[in-house]
């Protein structure tokens, strides 16, 4: 399984699972990172951290340390 922090610019993936501490899981769910949702990487900062992802018509910047807790697969 790959994680969200490893996808490239303009890739679209489907969220399969969220791992990590309960507080982080809750925060990611509140931001809209819900299993079976589609996510597209739309922006990458110059140092590749953070990246901005489009999910449910929202653009959310997420640090790689948090994005590595989101397991995804290509559609």
Q: 70: domain range?
A: 2-74
Conformation bin of residue 48: beta by default, left when phi > 0, alpha when psi is -120 to 50: left
Q: pTM surpassing 0.85?
A: yes
Which pLDDT value is given to residue 55? 96
pLDDT digits (tens), the chain, 75 positions: 899 999 999 999 999 999 999 999 999 999 999 999 999 999 999 999 999 999 999 999 999 999 999 999 998
Which pLDDT value is given to residue 1? 86
What proportions of the chain, in percent to the nearest 5, are helix, strand and coil?
25, 40, 35
CATH assignment at residue 38: 2.30.30.90
The count of domains in the chain is 1
Which pLDDT value is given to residue 75? 84
């Amino acid at each position: 399984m790959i994680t969200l922090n490893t996808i490239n610019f303009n890739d679209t993936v489907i969220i399969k699972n969220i791992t990590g501490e309960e507080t982080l899981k809750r925060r990611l769910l509140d931001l809209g990172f819900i299993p079976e949702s589609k996510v597209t990487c739309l922006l990458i900062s110059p140092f590749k951290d953070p990246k901005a992802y489009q999910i449910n018509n929202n653009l959310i910047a997420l640090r790689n340390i948090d994005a590595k807790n989101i397991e995804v697969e290509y559609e």
